[in-house]
């Protein structure tokens, strides 16, 4: 079989489209979140296959919808169906009540319910079956994220010989935190069934290696640089770090478009006075929105002379609404917006503009282009693509990026951004002031550095470095169809 018949097979919990009720029928809407933003341009028009859950419980016949979405996307989509109980135990349960909070160092949010583990393994086995039904012997199988840590071990049980790659989009926690996980040894052994395991940053890989050395008896680790080799149970596993990115050119070209210029004009019309500070996040407690509001409140307390001269626009995209802690966070955010606006609003000026919905690309870029300051302060983040999107879209090169030191993007962006500890209300408040008064020359210098680094290390650089390490190939070896 020639290289040209080799296909990319991507598996992630969700398909890049989600199914929603539309009266008596269904409609497919584009998925949200960093994984989709990053992977969609990689697979687009390459004739590969994306395997994942369509986002609703139960088995509904969506073959027509998937066929037309596949035709327009240029790759096939194959569904993995989940029943309501699977969603509760595997998705809401182990994935989002255990792994998500624990891997973001927020162990107090965890619910270590013993019944979750078996359900997680069963669904990973279901993903493995769908992958094995759809992958040819030459295909490159690339599994994504924390929902599917155990898919390779299930694929190997099915006799799969092909090498299987994995990329973790979220952080890997330090030993002390990981050690709390009741299934810590099982998880590590499952991850060692992959042939290559990729993390976002050196921090995450270092944490993973320390956990391996602590909990896996026969582990040995060799090599140095971006990719190391671990040996265990007679197998070799390569372990690297690959900071994910965005399609820089797509964002920067689109930011210059008429549509985005119009969107930016309307935003200015709406908020005519002063500078805009922008926060853009999925609804998630890891994104640090309440701390950010407290920091902005402190800034307003300390700088009464700057009232009316600065406005915080906080965009939140709805996410995981069926999980109670997310609903509580939404209520908390709304309460805080009401409280701060109630306290500081004056005629003609409202300090926080709060938007709770998914924005279209041009609208989102309109905000990126208009905002003088981006305030991106997650408590912890695998990478944070919003920080990179803001820089790519800031075509006037006059914006300032304030970024959490706990975002995976921080090591790459520290030379141009103002780095902050998101838990320090004083430090974030001071950073807003520093950004507000920074002169144009310094802003330009910093933004050029940021743009240079994101443009150089874009999503194609990321996918090529991963493919190169995994199978000694580049994306262009999977030619467009």
Interface residues with ligand ADQ (CB under 6 A)?
32-35, 37-38, 169-170, 244, 280, 282, 315, 317, 358-359, 364, 381-386, 389, 408
- Minimum separation from the CB atom of position 156 to ligand ADQ (A): 26
CB nearer to ligand ADQ: give 7 or 169: 169
- Minimum separation from the CB atom of position 315 to ligand ADQ (A): 5
Residue linked to tokens 């926690």: 173
Alpha helices by DSSP H, listed for 245-375, are 248-255, 258-270, 289-302, 324-344, 361-370
Does 169 qualify as catalytic in the annotation? yes
Catalytic residue selected from 169, 204, 281, 458: 169
User: What are the C-alpha distances in Å from 445 to residues 87, 430, 454?
Assistant: 48, 21, 15
Closest to 379 (Cα-Cα) out of 354, 410, 341, 348: 410
- Minimum separation from the CB atom of position 349 to ligand ADQ (A): 24
- Minimum separation from the CB atom of position 267 to ligand ADQ (A): 14
CA distance 447 to 374: 12
CB nearer to ligand ADQ: give 6 or 388: 388
CB nearer to ligand ADQ: give 319 or 341: 319
Closest to 128 (Cα-Cα) out of 100, 92, 159, 173: 159
Residue 83 CB neighbour total at 10 angstroms: 12
CB nearer to ligand ADQ: give 237 or 386: 386
User: Contact at 8 Å (CB) between 139 and 9?
Assistant: yes
- Minimum separation from the CB atom of position 353 to ligand ADQ (A): 13
Catalytic residue selected from 86, 145, 381, 458: 381
Does 381 qualify as catalytic in the annotation? yes
Burial class (CB in 10 A: 0-12, 13-18, 19+), 328: exposed
CA distance 469 to 459: 16
CA distance 12 to 173: 21
CA distance 383 to 169: 7
Closest to 222 (Cα-Cα) out of 237, 201, 203: 237
In a 3-state reduction of DSSP, which class is residue 475?
helix
Q: Nearest to ligand ADQ by Cβ — which residue?
A: 34
- Minimum separation from the CB atom of position 199 to ligand ADQ (A): 11
Residue 366 CB neighbour total at 10 angstroms: 24
CB nearer to ligand ADQ: give 299 or 354: 354
Q: Hey, which bits of 318-476 come out as E strands?
A: 352-356, 373-376, 400-404, 418-420
- Minimum separation from the CB atom of position 43 to ligand ADQ (A): 15
Question: 3-state DSSP: the chain helix, strand, coil percent, rounded to 5?
Answer: 50, 20, 30
CA distance 168 to 178: 15
CB nearer to ligand ADQ: give 221 or 317: 317
- Minimum separation from the CB atom of position 245 to ligand ADQ (A): 9
CB nearer to ligand ADQ: give 42 or 160: 42
In a 3-state reduction of DSSP, which class is residue 63?
helix
CA distance 407 to 376: 9
CB nearer to ligand ADQ: give 62 or 394: 394
Catalytic residues: 169, 381
């Amino acid at each position: 079989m020639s290289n040209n018949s080799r296909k990319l097979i991507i598996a992630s919990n969700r398909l890049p489209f989600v199914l929603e009720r539309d009266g008596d029928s269904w409609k497919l809407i584009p998925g949200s979140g960093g994984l989709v933003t990053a992977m969609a341009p990689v697979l687009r028009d390459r004739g590969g296959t994306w395997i994942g859950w369509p986002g609703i419980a139960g088995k509904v016949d969506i073959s027509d919808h998937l066929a037309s979405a596949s035709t327009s996307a240029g790759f096939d989509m194959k569904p993995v169906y989940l029943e309501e109980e699977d969603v509760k135990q595997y998705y809401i349960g182990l994935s989002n009540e255990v792994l998500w909070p624990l891997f973001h160092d927020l162990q107090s949010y965890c619910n270590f319910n013993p019944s979750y583990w078996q359900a997680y393994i069963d669904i990973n086995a279901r993903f493995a079956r769908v992958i094995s039904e759809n992958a040819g012997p030459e295909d490159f199988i690339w599994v994504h994220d924390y929902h599917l840590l155990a898919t390779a071990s299930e694929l190997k049980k099915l006799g799969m010989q092909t090498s299987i790659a994995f990329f973790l989009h979220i952080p890997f926690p330090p030993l002390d935190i990981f050690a709390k996980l009741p299934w810590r040894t099982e998880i590590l052994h499952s991850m060692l069934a992959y042939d290559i395991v990729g993390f976002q940053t050196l921090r995450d890989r270092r944490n993973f290696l320390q956990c391996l050395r602590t909990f896996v008896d026969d582990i040995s680790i060799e090599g140095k640089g971006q990719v190391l080799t671990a040996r265990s149970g007679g197998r070799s596993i390569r372990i690297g770090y690959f900071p994910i990115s965005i399609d820089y050119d797509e964002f920067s070209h689109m930011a210059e478009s008429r549509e985005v210029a119009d969107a930016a004009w309307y935003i200015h019309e709406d908020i005519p006075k002063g500078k805009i500070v922008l926060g853009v996040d999925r609804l998630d407690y890891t994104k640090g929105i309440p701390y950010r509001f407290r920091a902005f409140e402190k800034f307003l307390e300390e700088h009464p002379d700057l009232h009316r001269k600065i406005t915080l626009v906080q965009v939140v995209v709805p996410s995981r609404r069926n999980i109670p802690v997310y609903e509580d966070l939404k209520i908390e955010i709304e309460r805080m917006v009401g409280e701060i606006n109630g306290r500081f609003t004056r005629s003609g000026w409202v300090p926080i503009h709060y938007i709770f919905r998914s924005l279209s690309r041009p609208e989102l870029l309109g905000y990126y282009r208009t905002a003088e300051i981006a305030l991106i302060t997650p408590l912890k983040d695998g990478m944070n693509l919003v920080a990179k999107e803001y820089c790519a879209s800031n075509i006037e090169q006059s914006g300032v990026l304030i970024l959490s030191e706990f975002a995976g993007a921080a090591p790459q962006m520290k030379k141009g951004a103002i780095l902050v500890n998101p838990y320090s209300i004083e430090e974030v408040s001071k950073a807003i002031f520093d950004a507000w008064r920074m002169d144009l020359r310094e802003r330009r210098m910093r933004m050029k550095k940021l743009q240079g680094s994101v443009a150089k290390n874009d999503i194609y650089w990321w996918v090529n470095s991963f493919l190169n390490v995994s199978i000694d190939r580049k994306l262009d070896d999977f030619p467009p169809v």
